[in-house]
Amino acid sequence: MIKSRLFTIIAVLTMISSSWSQTINYDSVSFHPPLKISPVLAANFGELRSNHFHTGIDYKTNRRTGYNIYAIDDGYVSRIKVSPWGYGKAVYIDHYNGLTSVYAHCESFAGGIEELKQRVQHSSQDFAINYYPPKDSLKVRRGQIIAKSGNTGGSTAPHLHFEIRETVSEDALNPLMFNFDIKDTRKPQIRGLKIYSLTNEGYRIPNKSKRFSVYGNQGNYRVRHSHITLPADFAAKNGGLGFAVDAIDQLNAANNICGIHRAYLVVNGDTVFTQNMSRISFFTNRQINTHKDYEEYHRRRKHYQKTFKTRHNELPIYRTLKNNGILNVEPGKSYKITYSCYDTHGNRSSMSFKLSIARGEQPQQHVLYKGKNKLYPDTPFLHVDSTHYLLFPPHLVYEPIPRILESKAGLLRFGSSAIPLDDYFQLMMKVDTTLGSRWYVKRTNANGYTSALNGNTSKGWIHVDSRNFGLFEPALDTLPPTIRTANFSDGSHVRGRTLVLRIDDDQSGISDYDIYIDGKWHLLSWEPKRRAFYFHPPESLEGKKQVNIRAIDHCGNERTLNYTLHF
CATH number of 482-566: 2.60.40.1220
| Number of residues written out for the chain | 567
Most distant pair of Cα atoms in the chain: their distance: 90
Look up residue 188 and give its DSSP letter.
Answer: P
The answer to whether 96 and 163 have CB atoms below 8 angstroms apart is no
Look up residue 328 and give its DSSP letter.
Answer: -
Q: Which residues pair with 439 in a beta bridge?
A: 476
Residues of the chain above pLDDT 90, percent: 93
Confidence of residue 23 (pLDDT cuts 50, 70, 90): low
Angle at 364 between CA 359 and CA 367, to 5 degrees: 115
| Torsion angle of the four alpha carbons 550, 513, 567, 545, in this order, in degrees rounded to the nearest 10 | -30
Mean pLDDT of 22-46: 89
**Chain centroid to CA 403: how far?**
26
Computed on alpha carbons and rounded to an integer, the radius of gyration of the chain in Å comes to 27
pLDDT of residue 20: 41
Nearest one of 418, 415, 412 to 375, comparing CA atoms: 415
Question: What's 2-178's CATH class?
Answer: mainly beta
- Please give the backbone phi and psi of residue 395, each rounded to the nearest 5 degrees, phi first: 70, 30
Is residue 264's pLDDT more than 90? yes
The per-residue pLDDT of the chain, averaged, comes to 94
Domain ranges of the chain: 2-178, 189-357, 374-476, 482-566
Regarding predicted confidence, which is higher, 29 or 432? 432
3-state DSSP call for residue 524? coil
The answer to whether 546 and 518 have CB atoms below 8 angstroms apart is yes
Q: Which residues pair with 401 in a beta bridge?
A: 375
- Please give the backbone phi and psi of residue 179, each rounded to the nearest 5 degrees, phi first: 65, 35
Which residues, including other chains, have CB under 8 Å from residue 275's CB and lie 6 or more apart?
Answer: 260, 262, 263, 264, 305, 307, 317, 318, 319
Q: Distance (Å, rounded) from C-alpha 301 to C-alpha 3?
A: 31
387-399, pLDDT tens digit by residue? 999 999 999 999 9
Angle at 248 between CA 210 and CA 252, to 5 degrees: 160
Mean pLDDT of 126-148: 98
Sheet holding 450-453, edge to edge: 405-408, 411-414, 470-476, 439-444, 450-453
- pTM confidence score: 0.93
Q: Where are the alpha helices (DSSP H) in 193-347?
A: 288-291, 294-300
163-200, pLDDT tens digit by residue? 999 999 999 999 999 989 999 999 999 999 999 999 99
**CATH 2.60.120.10 holds for 374-476:** no
Q: Is the dihedral of CA 318, 267, 306, 290 positive or negative?
A: positive
pLDDT of residue 151: 97
Is residue 486's pLDDT more than 70? yes
Q: How far is the first Cα of the chain from the last one, in angstroms, to the nearest whole number?
A: 59
Mean pLDDT of 60-80: 98
Around Cβ 541, how many Cβ atoms within 10 Å? Answer: 15
pLDDT of residue 26: 85
Mean pLDDT of 285-289: 98
Q: Are strands 348-357 and 220-223 parallel, antiparallel or unpaired?
A: parallel
As a three-state string, the secondary structure of 393-420 is: CCCCCCCCEECCEEEECCEEEECCCCCE
